[in-house]
């Protein structure tokens, strides 16, 4: 698959078969993140790979579902259905209901791999301060996108979300569960599996 085709055909995949991704393919996917650009090539990112810990994947799915329900559940369909402009009219109510209940975002539990992408404001030797909010999260996102394109080119599906890490207390709970130090901040997750 060439790059233009990968860009045009990549989609968010939220249904996985549960099949395992071969280790050599996972290595290719993870290696792609290293080639993302970063200021002064500092590579101020870390990617935590969750594969065997089903309890942790279930926790992330529950947190995502709860966050989505809070985020989308408080707004009426009439106000938010415009964000589903790309869908056929007949599919919008059902999809919105899945968003409102959070069911659409519980897919980490079925993914073979969930990657927690982290950035840091302090992990570098530059005299400049690169704020995570502006630089770190962008750099981490570029790494995620590299992994996503490679996963897609190898025939796997992936779904990006920030729901497990966007609320401070949930983010703190996740950090405690997987021992992420306070100098690193989870920015987003990428769930990868066989579609």
Check which CATH number belongs to the domain holding 185 and give it. Answer: 3.40.109.10
Q: Does the residue 132 lie in any domain?
A: yes
Q: Does the residue 138 lie in any domain?
A: yes
Q: What is the pLDDT confidence band of residue 130, given thresholds at 50, 70 and 90?
A: low
Q: Does the residue 80 lie in any domain?
A: no
Query: Is residue 139 scored above 90 in pLDDT?
Result: no
Q: How many domains does the chain have?
A: 1
What is the average per-residue pLDDT within 144-162?
A: 97
Q: Are 101 and 163 in contact (CB under 8 A)?
A: no
For 164-194, the pLDDT digits (tens) are 898 889 999 999 999 999 889 999 999 999 9
CA distances (Å), origin 189, targets 10, 90, 104, 117, 171: 17, 30, 15, 6, 11
pLDDT of residue 127: 60
Query: Is residue 82 scored above 80 in pLDDT?
Result: no
CA neighbor of 10 nearest in space, from 115, 190, 153: 153
Q: Does the residue 59 lie in any domain?
A: no
Q: Does the residue 46 lie in any domain?
A: yes
Q: Does the residue 181 lie in any domain?
A: yes
Q: Does the residue 182 lie in any domain?
A: yes
């Amino acid at each position: 698959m060439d790059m233009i085709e990968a860009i045009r055909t990549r989609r968010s995949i939220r249904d996985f078969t549960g099949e395992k991704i071969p280790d050599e393919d996972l290595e290719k996917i993870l290696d792609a993140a290293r080639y993302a650009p970063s200021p002064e090539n500092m590579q101020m990112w870390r990617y935590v790979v969750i594969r065997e810990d089903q309890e942790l994947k279930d926790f992330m799915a529950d947190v995502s579902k709860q966050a989505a329900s809070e985020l989308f559940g408080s707004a009426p369909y009439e106000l938010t259905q415009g964000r589903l402009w790309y869908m056929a009219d007949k599919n919008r109510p059902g999809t919105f209901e899945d968003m409102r209940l959070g069911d659409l975002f519980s897919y980490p539990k079925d993914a073979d791999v969930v990657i927690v992408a982290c950035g840091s404001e302090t992990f570098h030797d530059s005299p400049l301060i690169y704020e995570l909010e502006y630089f770190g999260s962008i750099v981490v996102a570029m790494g995620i996108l590299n992994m996503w394109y490679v996963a897609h080119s190898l025939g796997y599906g992936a779904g990006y979300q920030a729901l497990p890490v966007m609320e401070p207390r949930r983010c703190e709970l996740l950090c405690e569960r997987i021992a992420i130090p306070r100098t690193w901040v989870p920015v987003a997750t990428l769930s990868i599996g066989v579609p």
